[in-house]
């Protein structure tokens, strides 16, 4: 059994990682840390885990060696102590944003960091979307989780970009996200009287995940012009991304099906959703809650030079913890779907 520990397990992402790993057939959860809750039972913070574990949180200072380490710390914390944390395990997945970008310039621009605390390690971390980097992840010791909005955005249009179908590098993306994406630290934007009923544009431009989207959709030296906006909606979980891409007006549905099947036909966690009828004929995050699936879809404007692409995920799962466990499975030689078989709920 692989001995796995989670640093920062009291947050939403750390809690989801723990929930998955407790049911993983190849894993023994060895230790979970939380500075604010050290000494307390896990279920006092994650009540859904009652009778699933009697683990208690410990301090990061008491972290013991293990086989695999998940980091679920707030941004800027893992990078300041990464060299020490690397001594605890031979393989690691950092679910925060500290190592998602390939170069320091992106952090200076999008994260207001004058200097990255561990810039020398940035090229050593593999960006952890298995659908894009499966072979690299399989041979990696250091993998970084991807941003939740970035994951949905990238996966929505990746087949179009990969197939060379764009006639213009400009891609306009709108991401709608639930409140859990903001984490478990209370603030006015997540306070119920302020959040309830909202459809609030909180990052019309300049969202940090834009850097990841540009990085991962740059192919053959061609960098896309990403125009990304983010909107808060009244939901706890879930992300829906809608993307507008310029293509040749003669492009057909058959051409798009070919591109999406070529990219995702063998992917265990991506489903192409494009039905003629029904409430769920396009991707819908509601039915993905708790699952590691990403549903993608598309609609070509008839006789017009543009396509609308869509992707839906659970932001805490395929957008964070689930994606990280999928990467761990690849890194450790397990079945890629191990521990991640839950299909979501309906209704």
Which own/partner contact pairs does 193-196 have at CB distance under 8 Å and 24+ positions apart? 195/232, 195/234, 196/234
Give yes or no for a contact between 273 and 331, defined as CB atoms under 8 angstroms apart.
Answer: no
Q: Comparing C-alpha atoms, which of 51, 49, 13 is closest to residue 34? A: 13
Query: For the CA atoms of the chain, what is the radius of gyration?
Result: 20
Distance, in Å, from the CA atom of 88 to the CA atom of 94, rounded to the nearest integer, reads 13
DSSP code for 58: E
* H or E element in which residue 4 lies: strand 2-7
Distance, in Å, from the CA atom of 142 to the CA atom of 88, rounded to the nearest integer, reads 13
Q: Comparing C-alpha atoms, which of 20, 34, 4, 10 is closest to residue 322? A: 20
Which of 66, 93, 148, 294 does the annotation list as catalytic? 148
**Is there a catalytic annotation at residue 148?**
yes
Query: Sheet holding 126-127: strands in order across?
Result: 57-58, 27-33, 2-7, 68-71, 91-94, 142-144, 126-127
Give the 3-state secondary structure of residue 93. Answer: strand
Distance, in Å, from the CA atom of 294 to the CA atom of 314, rounded to the nearest integer, reads 8
Residue 304 is encoded by which pair of tokens?
A: 């017009």
Active site residues per annotation: 148
């Amino acid at each position: 059994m692989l001995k796995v520990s989670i640093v920062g397990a009291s947050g939403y992402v750390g809690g989801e990682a723990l929930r998955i790993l407790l049911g993983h057939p190849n894993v023994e959860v060895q230790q979970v840390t939380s500075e604010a809750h050290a000494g307390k039972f896990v279920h006092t913070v994650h009540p859904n885990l009652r009778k699933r574990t009697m683990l208690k949180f410990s301090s990061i200072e008491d972290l013991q060696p293990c086989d695999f380490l998940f980091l679920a710390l707030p941004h800027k914390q893992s990078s300041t102590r990464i060299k020490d944390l690397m001594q605890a395990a031979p393989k690691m997945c950092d679910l925060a944003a500290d190592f998602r970008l390939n170069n320091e310039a992106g952090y200076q621009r999008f994260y207001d960091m004058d200097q990255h605390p561990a810039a020398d390690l940035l090229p050593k971390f593999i960006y952890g979307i298995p659908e894009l980097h499966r072979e690299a992840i399989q041979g990696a010791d250091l993998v970084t989780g991807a941003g939740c909005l970035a994951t949905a955005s990238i996966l929505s249009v990746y087949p179009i970009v990969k197939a060379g179908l764009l006639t213009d590098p400009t891609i306009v993306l709108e991401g709608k996200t639930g409140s859990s994406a903001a984490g478990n630290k209370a603030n006015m934007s997540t306070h119920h009287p302020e959040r309830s009923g909202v459809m609030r544009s909180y990052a019309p431009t300049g969202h940090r995940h834009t850097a990841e989207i540009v990085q991962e959709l740059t192919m053959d030296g061609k960098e896309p012009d990403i125009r990304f906006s983010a909107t808060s909606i009244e939901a706890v979980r879930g992300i829906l991304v809608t993307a507008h891409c310029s293509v040749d007006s003669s492009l057909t549905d058959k051409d798009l099906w070919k591109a999406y099947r070529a990219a995702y036909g063998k992917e265990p966690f991506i489903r192409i959703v494009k039905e003629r009828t029904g409430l769920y004929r396009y991707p819908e995050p509601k039915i993905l809650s708790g699952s590691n699936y990403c549903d993608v879809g598309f609609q070509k404007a008839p006789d017009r030079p543009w396509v609308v692409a869509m992707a839906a995920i659970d932001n805490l799962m395929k957008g964070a913890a689930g994606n990280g466990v999928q990467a761990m499975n690849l890194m450790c030689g397990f079945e890629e779907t191990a521990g991640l078989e839950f299909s979501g709920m309906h209704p």
